[in-house]
Chain A
Amino acid sequence: MQVKSRLRAPMWVWGAAAVVAVGGIAAAVMSMRTSEEPIASGPSVTRRLTAEQYQNIIQDVFGSDIDLGGRFEPDLRVDGLFAVGASHVSVTAAGMEQYDAMGRAVAGQVVDANHRDMLMPCKPASAEQPDEQCAQEFLGKVGRLLHRRPLTDQQLQAYVTAATQATQITKSFYDGVALSLSAMLSAPDFLFREEVVEPDPDHPGSYRLDAYSKASQLSFFLWNSAPDSKLLAAAEEGELHSKRGLARQVERMMGSPRLESGMRAFFEDQLRFDEFETLAKDSALFPKFSAQVADDAREQTLRTILDVVFTRDSDYREIFTTKKTFLTPELGSIYRVPIYNDGPNGSPDQWQPYEFAADDPQTGILTQIAFTALHSPAGRGSPTIRGKAVREIALCQKVPAPPGDVDFTQFELASASPTSTARERLGVHASVPSCAGCHKIMDPIGLALENFDGSGEFRTMEGNARIDPSGEIDGIKYEDANGLGNAIYRNPAAVSCIVDRLSARALGRTTSSGERGWLKDLKDDFADNGYRLSALMREIALSRALYSVSAPAREPAQQQVAAASSADR
């Protein structure tokens, strides 16, 4: 995966999120059903850092001007999420080379003349000689942040010794420290989120994450990054094991600007925005579409969602019906609405708020370019692909793969006519039993989006035929994309979907059968709270289920952790 610079959070989101968090947390804690329910927990999992998490940690610890370089190994999507796939992947030899190269690149920049005075807490007595005290101070400090827990004495000594020996060889204190830092960045304790489990003293016979693993669970869920120093301090002091202490940290974290980063990461994962990396359109057919449009489209949908769930703290389901969005001039040209830049000629394009008319076909994220274009082939739209995407992404329903012996004869005959519409062509599916079973749950959904061509541009005609955007989902018929949005809004599966996926993201795995009660409570509370995502996130973050695990197969890792030095591996 190509390393990309991270988007910065707009101030309006930060401020709004803070207000939401402070105002809502007390009520949420009081109303939630889940905190004390008995739980049949699932297993602990070990997750590889995603590319974005790696990037976020480096930025959080060393600053945003550190260039990673290199490429990450591809992530794996499991049950609709990379966040779940992260517990199913390892590191290949080639991937390890990349991690090593990135680690060296990062370490080199951290100790270079431009950064060392700001990032290192001490100066060596001599830049050409080992200085164990300074090396220990620096490596101990960053090691705690990178490993998400204090280094053991044995770990720290190994890193310091390596730095000393490297300094003696290179005659450079900073090169020596950089070598140890790069080793730290390639260590399994950094690259993998390993959960350390301990008996739960409040629930005899049960197990829970230890305080540092709990801090990581919380931090990666809310921020998509490692715990900050305050959260680690809370873990160290045992605060996270108390309800009040946990609530205090959750409140602080939900008021942080990093919350937007966490939610962006979730929705990028949930909406499969990684597919933008391979998105291409036929420029002869869709000349307006470009790499810039693709980037803007992705950002538009994220801004739309964040506006609903954070800025306005509204009903999550409004993301399927909202008329409010944000556009750049280039996006405006595709949606055929005027978006004017400010400033003189040549000024960079700016984001502008925009609200479509109530009866405009543009409604919610399913009609946005980031959905209609992303789920279309290069040269046309596809009701089938879009319908499948609605099922899988908005409703978390699985659509079976087509059988291997599909007979395309009828479909090709229907496609042979240049005047046929997609509706006519897809009508053939109904006449072929082996196709009808699945296509009837996809095509009628996607046909409602036929007013949007393969690039997402609005149209009323397909060839010489006027488009009929009527559709149907699960027996609910509608006239156009507005109706589709409303149908998804009212569909209980949309609510279950977001709860399931958000909880799976938090846990790093699909919930177990023993956690169904917890999920049901989350869904009920979500409804009681007006489907406000902030309330759902807060409840998950405060849930005992998030930090409880089933009995380990052998002795809890906590008893082994002291002996498990990454330097020894």
Chain B
Amino acid sequence: MAAFTRCSAPLLFAVAAFGCASQAGAETRHYAVSWFAQATYSNDHDCSHGVHPEVEQIYLRYAERLGATPAQIATWRRKQMEGEDVRDLDELMMNRGRIDGQPVNPYTQPAAVVDLQMPGLDGKYAFGFNLDGKGADDPNAFEDPETHERGVDHQLYRALGCTRAFRGSLESRPTYYAWAWGQLKDSQPAWVITVSGDDLSKDGPVSVSIERALEYLRSNSDGTPRFDMAYRIDPDPRSRNTYRGEVKNGVVSITEHGKLRLLQNPLVAPELELSNVHLRLALKPDRSARGFMGGYQPWHPIYFGIAGVGFGGEQQVTGDVPGFYHLMKRYADADPDPVTGQNRAISVTYYLEAVPAFVRPADATQQLTSR
């Protein structure tokens, strides 16, 4: 391996907070994404019909729709309350889909599960972006609680925001995403964001790359993400995304709202695919970054990522899985199917945190010294 050196001392002092320039007249900062989950802003006033019941109660509603007698339901309810096994109900729920009257797996065949018409979120606020350009005129849009921009499109939040596993805030993370991230972060190759510009401490145009590393995110012994680890960019073209953007008042945004594709992990979803991608990333004084990424995302992969938890995960983590299918189908707001008219994509906003990292570009032939 070729030897190399890090920043010279004077330069190091000059840019101690953010690292040194990778080339004359330019500055590049790399970040490893250390948290990525749907941006939620749950509060006491966002589900006027109430938060969805526990999955055990929802099971009884399904049972009723599947023809169980009132006596059966009363027995199951009593057993549930007394902590007894309800194996016959479990068997019924594990196959609560119906095709031609025959039981089918509800997780892989969610369309075959009866739609309980669970309500969506109807609060005023949601993190995100004005994706469709309608702005304040859009009656279905939210207001961003941080920027107070109106016309925010975040229908995934509307669809799932009243289900227990998907409620939370930036500080109090939603159960499902906390679980999924915990499963993935120590094995899934990290996502890396690179911001390049003339001087990132000043307003001006930048280039933003969002790529996948070969290595998983490294953590400290207390589980917090580790600053200043080195990652190599995966040359696989399926995870290479670069956009024009700008930095303004220390916040990086994308001005070229194209597509984004990143390979992910089948436990959550095989890949993350967005169109009309938006980014708002604040560069923090402690050298980390946090912000939001949004766009329109095909909702089928979101569903099947969640559905992978199966019956056990439905009870332990997510709640009623087929219900998510119907909710996302109902609230999907983009990419209509040319035949059926059903929207195939849904507006989403993800909240992300990132820590400073060293990154070796995929096409680099030797170690580089940017940070």
Do A and B bind?
Answer: yes
Per a CB cutoff under 8 Å, which of A324, A338, A344, A359 touches B369? A338
Q: Which of A332, A335, A339, A357 has the most CB of B within 10 A?
A: A357
Contact yes or no, B216 A345, CB < 8 A:
yes
Q: Is the CB of A460 within 8 A of B16?
A: yes
Interface residue ranges of B322-371 to A (CB < 8 Å): 358-360, 367-371
Query: Shortest CB–CB separation between residue B154 and chain A, in angstroms?
Result: 32
A347: nearest chain-B partner, CB-CB: B215
Instruction: Check A338–B3 contact: CB distance below 8 A.
Output: no
Closest to A337 in B: B6
Q: Is the CB of A357 within 8 A of B6?
A: yes
Chain B residue numbers with a CB within 8 Å of A337 are 6, 358, 369
Quick check: is B197 within 8 A (CB to CB) of the other chain?
no
Contact B222 A287 (CB under 8 A): yes
Question: Across the interface, which residues of B come within 8 angstroms of A357, CB to CB?
Answer: 5-9
Most chain A C-beta atoms within 10 Å of own C-beta, residue among B6, B10, B360: B6
B218 at the interface (CB under 8 A from A): yes
A489 to B367, CA, bound (A): 31
Number of interface residues of B (CB under 8 A): 37
**Closest Cβ neighbor of A286 among chain B residues:** B220
In the bound complex, do residue A355 and residue B16 qualify as a contact, i.e. CB atoms below 8 Å apart?
Answer: no
Q: Which of B12, B220, B227 contacts A283 (CB 8 A)?
A: B220
Is B5 a contact partner of A288 (Cβ separation < 8 A)?
A: no
In the assembled complex, how far is the CB of residue B212 from the closest CB belonging to chain A, in whole angstroms? 10
Interface flags for A334-364 (1: CB within 8 Å of B; 0: not) read 1111111100111000001111110111000
Interface residues of B in 1-22 (CB under 8 A from A): 1, 3-10, 12-13, 16
Interface stretch among B76-84, B137-145, B228-236, B302-310? B228-236
Distance, CA A284 to CA B16, complexed state (A): 22
Kindly state the separation between the CA atoms of A106 and B190 in the bound complex, as whole angstroms: 46
Residue among A333, A344, A360, A361 making CB contact with B218, cutoff 8 Å: A333
- Bound CA span A333–B360, Å: 14
A356 to B12 alpha-carbon distance, docked (Å): 13
Identify which of residues 183-234 in chain B touch chain A, using a CB-to-CB cut-off of 8 Å.
187, 189, 214-216, 218, 220-222, 224, 226-232
Q: Which residues of B contact A332 (CB under 8 A)?
A: 228-230, 358
Check B367 against A340 for contact (C-beta < 8 Å). yes
Question: A329 in the interface, Cβ–Cβ < 8 Å?
Answer: yes
CB < 8 Å neighbour of A288 from B13, B216, B227:
B227
**Cross-chain contact of A287 among B189, B224, B229, B368 (Cβ < 8 A):** B224
B222 touches A283 (CB 8 A): yes
Chain A residues with CB under 8 Å of B7's CB are 357
Smallest distance from the beta carbon of B293 to chain A beta carbons, Å?
23
Q: How far, in whole Å, are A85 and B353 apart by their CA atoms in the complex?
A: 53
Contact A336–B6 (Cβ < 8 Å)? yes
Interface string of A352-393 (1 = CB under 8 A from B): 111111011100000000000000000000000000000000
Contact present for B371 and A336 (CB under 8 Å): yes
Assuming A333-B226, A337-B6, A354-B3, is B218 touching A287 (CB within 8 A)?
A: no
A346 touches B230 (CB 8 A): no
User: Once the chains bind, are A361 and B216 in contact (CB under 8 Å)?
Assistant: no
Q: How far is the CB of A14 from chain B (nearest CB, A)?
A: 21
The A-B contact count (CB < 8 A) is 98
1/0 contact string of A314-344 vs chain B (CB within 8 Å): 0000000000100001101111111111001
Chain B interface, DSSP helix/strand/loop, else mixed:
loop
Count of residues in A whose CB is under 8 Å from the partner chain: 35
CB-based contact B8/A338 at 8 Å: no
A342 CB to nearest B CB, Å: 8
B16 x A461 contact (CB < 8 A): yes
Contacts of B12 in A (CB 8 A): 360, 460
Task: Check: A290 CB closer than 8 A to any chain B CB.
Answer: yes
Contact among B3, B5, B222, B358 with A360 in the assembled complex (CB-CB below 8 Å): B5
Question: Quick check: is A291 within 8 A (CB to CB) of the other chain?
Answer: yes
Nearest residue (CB) in B for A461 is: B16
- Compute how far the CA of A460 lies from the CA of B18 in the bound complex, rounded to whole angstroms: 13
Chain B residue nearest to A344 (CB atoms) is B214
B264 CB, nearest partner CB in chain A, Å: 14
Is B9 a contact partner of A329 (Cβ separation < 8 A)? no
**Which A-chain residue is minimally distant from B188 (CB atoms)?**
A345
Q: Are the CB atoms of A288 and B226 closer together than 8 Å? A: yes
Complex-state Cα separation, A356 to B368, whole angstroms: 13
Chain B residues lying within 8 Å of A352, measured Cβ to Cβ, are 1
B227 partner residues in chain A, CB cutoff 8 A: 288, 333
Docked complex Cα distance between A165 and B10 (Å): 77
Please name all residues of chain B whose beta carbon is closer than 8 Å to the beta carbon of A345 when the two chains form the complex. Answer: 187, 189, 214-216
Contacts of A339 in B (CB 8 A): 230
B340 vs chain A, min Cβ distance (A): 40
Contact across chains for A340 and B232 when beta carbons are under 8 A apart: yes
Instruction: Decide if A283 touches B8 in the complex (CB within 8 Å).
Output: no
Chain B residues near A289 (CB-CB < 8 A) = 221
Contact with A along B171-193 (1 / 0, CB 8 A): 00000000000000001010000
**Closest partner residue, chain A, to B186 (CB atom):** A346
Bound-complex Cα distance A360 to B227 (A):
20
In the complex, how many angstroms separate the beta carbon of A225 from the nearest chain B beta carbon? Answer: 33
A-B contact pairs, 16 of them (CB 8 A): A284-B222, A289-B221, A290-B220, A292-B221, A330-B218, A332-B229, A333-B230, A336-B6, A340-B232, A341-B215, A345-B214, A354-B4, A355-B4, A357-B8, A360-B12, A460-B12
Binding site for A on B (CB under 8 A): 1, 3-10, 12-13, 16, 187, 189, 214-216, 218, 220-222, 224, 226-232, 358-360, 367-371
